[in-house]
Every structure is written in C-alpha cells, then in structure tokens.
Structure 1
C-alpha cells in the first residue's frame, strides 16, 4: 500500500500510513487527538495543507513553539484518502482554556502576538502566501454583499470604510496569523505553550491580528460579565504587551477602532445565510459598540 493513499476514511486506518496504532479521539470536526501524543488533522484542499505544513516547518526550525509535523515513511508531510488529506503532528502541551479577565493575560496575549509577528517578519520571504488587503475586501466583495442584501445603510458603511482608508497606505503590512483567538493559542499552567492553526495566514496590515483578537473577545463575551470598562482595559493592556516587542506607529493607534469596525462589517457580509442571521446581527452589534468607543480607544492607546 502506498503510504500516502488509503482506502477507508477512519482515523485508525489513516494512522496506518504512519505505521501507528491506537485510539483517536475527535477534538474538532476535522481533527483527532491520538494516544495523547499526536494530532491528526483533515484537509479538503491539498494546497491549504501544504501551505500550513510549510509554515509550521519554517517556524519550528526557528524555535517558535508550533506543532512538529510527523511525515509518512516516504517523507511526505501528509496522507491521502478519498480526495481528503491528513497531516499528523506532535501534540503541544497545554490547552486553550484561558480567562482574559485574569490579571496579566491581556498583556501576555499582546506579547505573544508581538513575538509571532517578529518571527513572521523573518520567515515571510521564504513563504509564498496570499498578499491580501482588508481595504480591498471592504471595497470589493463586502460592498457587493451590502448592495445585494442591504444589511446596513450605505452612508454608515461608506463612513466606516472611509475612516479605514484614511492613512491605510501608511499601515505596516506583513505576514499575519489572521485567525487570532484563544482556541489557537495554548497555555500550560498559565504559561504560553504554543501557536496552532495557520490555515488562514496571509499578508495584510499587521494590526489586523490584534484587532481581530479584541473584537473576538467582545463577540465571545456577549451576555457575560465582560463590561465596557473591562474591555477597554484589555485593549490597552494587549497593545502595551505587543509594544514590548513591536512599537505601534501613531497611524496604527489611530486606525485601531476603524480596523475593528471593518472586521465586524466583513463578518456581517460573510454570514449571509438565513440560519446565520444571529451571527450577522451580533457582528453589527459589535460594529456599533466599537464605533461608540472610538474616542475611548484612542485615549487608552495614547496613555
């Protein structure tokens, strides 16, 4: 049997490609934990797998805490089954259960992002990744969605995009993670232990990552105890942690709320199915919340 191709899609069968046996416990819809030592991940698209594998390999060689890929015996980083692709990696220690309200965690997350962005700077020249632009997306498919579906009034949308556009070309652009939330950052006994899931990594404005993280906190905390004052403190602490590694330009600090707002409008456009109406409404709720806090965000970042 070719160690890259197998006939039955079951984790235990797929593991035979690596000459492994044991128990596979599903942890996500596309991932399994194997013998508490490995993680098996399924991909529908081979190019996405290859991009992620290349990213992990480069970062691991740089000493960044990411999962180490286990190749099949032929040396390839994946196995194939029924036009689906599988990658096996060593399991990193820790988990993603972290309380952002806990003192010091927001600043630590900022530091973690800063260190990752420094590593990205060093390795982006040897990686061919999508060179994307949040502004182009807003003026492109997001605007087209608004025209079709009328989920926000045109004047408000144009105002938000205009604020982003003002000075956009002066915002530093580099390789970013693009999916920064606690599910993709592991902690072991309170200490950071590793980065995971680089499937969406791309080149874009660098503050996208920290803004995405901060708006994601708002979305995940709907109906919880995280209030406005607490969230603004988190914004300040996360930015301060990031600046321990990478100083933020004045243009970036000015753009913080505008990037957050446009990220939420991007999500409002993305959630376009009837069964996703609540997600769209939540994104718009976050947009208006951040819009109402622009002056406070600027004040927090200037202190």
Structure 2
C-alpha cells in the first residue's frame, strides 16, 4: 500500500495521515497530524466483517476490551477502495508477551489464562451463533488434515498413532461443549499495558467449535515459538499448568474438558500439519511438535489435572 492509498482511505474517517508503517499484508499502522495512531485493515469478506462488528459490540457491552472499528463520516464501518474494502481501528497502547517472558514469568500465563477465560465466557453468552461457521473438530482432523498429510508423508508410525487416536478423538469431540471461539488466541493477539489488558485483536477467524479450543491453541502457539530451544521447551509444561489453572479459576472446566486438553492439542497440531503440508519446513516442525506432545502426555496431563485440582 502506497502513501497515497493510505491518505485516500483515511480521508473517509477525516484522518489526516502524516506517516504510516506496513504491519502485515492486511494491516497498516497510521499516524495522524494530531499524533494519534490507528490501524487500517483490509477486509476481504464484508459479511464476515459485519459479524465481527456485531461480536465486538457484544464484547464491549460486557466490559471486555477489544480493538474496535471506527465509523466513517457516512456512518458505516468500511469503505471500498481499489477492489477491496478497508476499515480503521483504534490503536491499542501496550505490548504482547515475548516467548521468554511467557515461559519464565508465572504472571504471564495467569494473565493470558484469565483473559481467554473472560473472553470465552462472554462469547458463550452471544445469541447469534447461527451466523458463524460451525466446525466439527473431528472432521477437521480426520476429514481434512490427515488426508492432506497422507499426500506428503508416508510414515507408518504416524498413521498408527492416528488410527489409535481416532475413536477417542471422535468420542471426545462429541461430548465436549461448543460455543463461539476466537480461533486465533495466540500471545500476539492479546495486548497488555503494565500487566493490564489493553485488548484482544483479530476476530476474523471466529467460529463455533469446542469450548477449550482457544485455551489449547494458546498453549500450542507458545510451544511453537520456543520449541527449537530445549531449555524453553522444558519450561512449557509449567506454562500449561499455570495457564489452565488461571483459566479454570475464572471459567471453570469440567473434568471431561480437563481430560480432553491433550487430545485437543494434538488435533490443533494435526490441523497445522495438514495446512502446511505443501511447505516442507513448516510441516516438519509442526510434525515434530505433534510427536513431542504425543510422547509427553503424562507430563502434560499431570500439570493440567494435578495443578488445576490442587489450586
């Protein structure tokens, strides 16, 4: 995006831009002549964006902090520009936790766990679930991901694991409660300022799925960032225990949900393996994570079940 594009888009909000910085393919930071910061986001799907606005309003009405879209001069929340649509969000002051801080500081998993628990509680109370995609985690794994994996990986040992897991995964998914989930609850989408929540961002992937998906996704996303370093990898078990404990204190987990966490972690890793099956390096690291989680079931479940039940 060129500066002229940024200025043209921002004019619909009466924002006079003096500087900008591209953050990603979809997001651009802009600074106004009043030295205020905003985020421009490209929106590919307006129906999805309208759902996002509705959900953000629901969250904010329940006193949960999020990044929110600003209304244009015409009263809408987006403008068309060069075959795409764009919205502008408020800028959240603060930072996201780095991997070392996540694994070395016990305060971090507590803050993350409490935040995801609050988010899930409020999203559960939404009465517009039918407007969102309803995903079946079992089908995502065995109807999509494993089939993609088979195209690139001919490891008999891996498929033996999937065969042994299949009936348990199917049974567990059928018994777990489902609700609206964020679907992308990693540490870079949760912003803090002096250990106070500034807000959660990026609600583009929201769907209906098993309730503990966001909790498990946060654990595997942290593992992925520190997995190649043995020292950090070893500290991940305590992170999991602290995260789940904090979540459970705000949004209590049933015994079935606690016992299912290891399985949902494996499901998430399998989905990543399927998604990255055409990228050899990313596939290999996600496969290694899958096998490592699989082999460390006892340590993971000790932290999840013992820590949560004792505190």
TM-score (norm 2): 0.88
Q: Which residue of 2 aligns with 1:30?
A: 26
* Corresponding position: 1:49 with 2:45: no
Aligned length: 294
* Corresponding position: 1:85 with 2:85: yes
Which runs of 5 or more residues in structure 1 are unaligned?
1-7
Alignment partners' CA distance in 1, 2:264 and 2:286: 14
Q: Which residue of 2 aligns with 1:291?
A: 294
Where does 1:136-147 land on structure 2 (aligned, <5 Å)? 136-147=139-150
Alignment partners' CA distance in 2, 1:267 and 1:34: 32
How far the C-alpha of 1:151 sits from its partner, in A, is 5.2
**Contact 2:42/2:85 (<8 A) preserved:** yes
Alignment partners' CA distance in 2, 1:291 and 1:262: 11
Partner SS state of residue 191, structure 2? strand
How far the C-alpha of 1:220 sits from its partner, in A, is 0.8
From 10, 15, 21, the counterpart of 2:10: 15
**Contact 2:136/2:209 (<8 A) preserved:** yes
* Corresponding position: 1:302 with 2:302: no
From 276, 279, 282, the counterpart of 2:282: 279
* Corresponding position: 1:121 with 2:124: yes
TM-score (norm 1): 0.90
Higher helix share: 2
Partner SS state of residue 187, structure 1? strand
Where does 1:150-299 land on structure 2 (aligned, <5 Å)? 150=153, 152-153=155-156, 154-224=159-229, 226-273=231-278, 276-299=279-302
Partner SS state of residue 131, structure 2? coil
Give deviations 1:175-194, integer Å, cap 9, x for gaps.
11110111100011232211
For the aligned residue pairs, the C-alpha RMSD in angstroms reads 1.9
Moved over 4 A (4+): none
Which runs of 5 or more residues in structure 2 are unaligned?
307-311
**Contact 2:134/2:209 (<8 A) preserved:** yes
**Contact 2:226/2:233 (<8 A) preserved:** no
Partner SS state of residue 66, structure 1? coil
Give deviations 1:123-147, integer Å, cap 9, x for gaps.
2437711111211211211232134
CA shift in 2, pair 1:222/1:228, >3 Å: closer
From 145, 148, 168, the counterpart of 2:151: 148
How far the C-alpha of 1:102 sits from its partner, in A, is 1.4
Alignment partners' CA distance in 1, 2:126 and 2:199: 18
**Contact 1:71/1:77 (<8 A) preserved:** yes
**Contact 1:110/1:240 (<8 A) preserved:** yes
